[in-house]
Chain A
């Protein structure tokens, strides 16, 4: 479900469940976390991309609908929080490439990246309140990367915005016209980063984390808020309705 390729001084980590638009399941998030940590010691920059037609459709909601107790949702929320924390904590920079779509939990991964590339037509958004889920788990990370205005409208509004609009509000740093060019450009940026003096990059990333990352308790608080809604009647009814 996760594929890692090492190429010179960079690692290309791919979400690899293309038939499900790379929808996240608990084991996938655990593997992603382990792989990112392993790569951090082997290379000088990391690329996170998705296989198939789009980057990531978010949590696999079918699994959640089949689990009325909410345990799967709890595992997904906790796993997502852990991965994003790891992305921030590792010393090497992360370039994330969004082709096609980064929705909900997929969009949350942007909060752990240092540089985001997307295609102009990509769809980005966090439309989870409509299924009774709170995106609070990502609030601290998103606020540490993006302006409060951009974060509020993404987390509260169910609208999906285009890559071009995401560039305008600072959710992504760079767009390419063609979705098939996203991966190539993300790799190119990582290669540029990998050739810069490593000690300066490490010092700069960790200093940026210190001056603008959410404190651990904010991240934990957000996760707790999201967890407090799992298994609630509102969430269960709305999830079940999705699969009619």
Chain B
């Protein structure tokens, strides 16, 4: 069986690749568990920078919609299990001592886009697709909302999450969702390397102390909010209108 997550360390930089390219790296229980294990291991690693990216064309298409469609899975608890796992993972990533860079190679949608907001720095390219189309599917991006608000500021986060849809890399760059923008996919790896290498020149203690302070100041340690978001998101997800919208989407 293929590994859900690939880890590669080169000097002070570790790269974590979400590895489910045939499903656009959608977050299934297996993928999330793989990410939890990888991130747990990094807590004791001496690297300074973690780069998160996706295998194949997409960065991460968000939650595995097939897994949370009750008529397919026959199990109404999967949604809450996935959302709680994602909530805990976001807190874990935020608490890593490494500076975390999202290298958004392709689509970063919903929870996948939320994941980029948990990272400290996001690198992408003009043709990438990012956004929060949850409301279009009748669901509520409650788990990731606190991270989106911290990344974009509340006003821009309101528009991004209430309007739904997706935007291109340039639009994402314009509102501060992306911090560094390559011209195209071909330019992304070099730009990611430049950013990661530059971050890795920082003193490891200075970097981790600064990140820790920022986490304290911006409320990143408020676990209860994110976990409450998982409950809320799960209840909306299990509601008939959301299940109907998801079912229609998957049959398209």
Contact = CB atoms under 8 A, between A and B. Distances in A.
Interface of A: 93, 114-116, 144-147, 170-171, 173, 189, 192-193, 196-197, 199-201, 203-205, 207-208, 211-212
B37 interface: no
A46 to B, nearest CB: 13
Q: Which of A116, A147, A193, A199 has the most CB of B within 10 A?
A: A199
Nearest to B226: A211
B135 A146 contact: no
Contacts of B156: 170, 173
A197 B155 contact: no
A143 to B, nearest CB: 9
A196 B140 contact: no
B163 A200 contact: no
A115 B157 CA distance: 10
A230 to B, nearest CB: 29
B159 A114 contact: yes
B162 A193 contact: yes
Nearest to B140: A203
A207 B229 contact: yes
Nearest to B153: A147
A200 B161 contact: no
Given A201-B162, A204-B135, 6 more contacts: A116-B155, A197-B242, A200-B138, A204-B140, A207-B142, A211-B225
Interface string B74-96: 00000000000000000000000
Contacts of B135: 196-197, 200-201, 204
Contacts, number: 90
B190 interface: no
Interface of B: 134-142, 145-146, 149, 153-159, 161-164, 175, 225, 229, 232, 236, 239, 241-242, 245
B145 A208 contact: yes
A30 to B, nearest CB: 26
Contact of A170 (B137, B155, B162, B242): B155
Given A115-B163, A197-B242, A204 B153 contact: no
Contacts of B134: 200, 204
- Interface SS of chain B: helix
Contact of B162 (A93, A147, A211): A93
Given A114-B158, A196-B136, A211 B146 contact: yes
Contacts of B241: 197, 199-200
B159 A199 contact: no
A203 B141 CA distance: 9
B155 A204 contact: no
Name the residue among B140, B142, B175, B229 with the largest chain A CB count within 10 angstroms: B140
Contacts of A146: 153-155
A115 B241 CA distance: 25
Contact of B236 (A93, A114, A199, A211): A199
Contacts of A204: 134-135, 140-142, 145, 161-162
B138 A199 contact: yes
B179 to A, nearest CB: 15
A173 B154 CA distance: 12
B159 A173 contact: yes
Contacts of A147: 153
Nearest to B165: A192
Which of A145, A146, A201, A203 has most B Cβ within 10 Å?
A: A203
A196 B229 CA distance: 21
A193 B163 CA distance: 6
Nearest to B134: A200
10 contacts: A197-B138, A199-B236, A200-B242, A205-B162, A207-B142, A208-B158, A208-B161, A211-B146, A211-B225, A212-B157
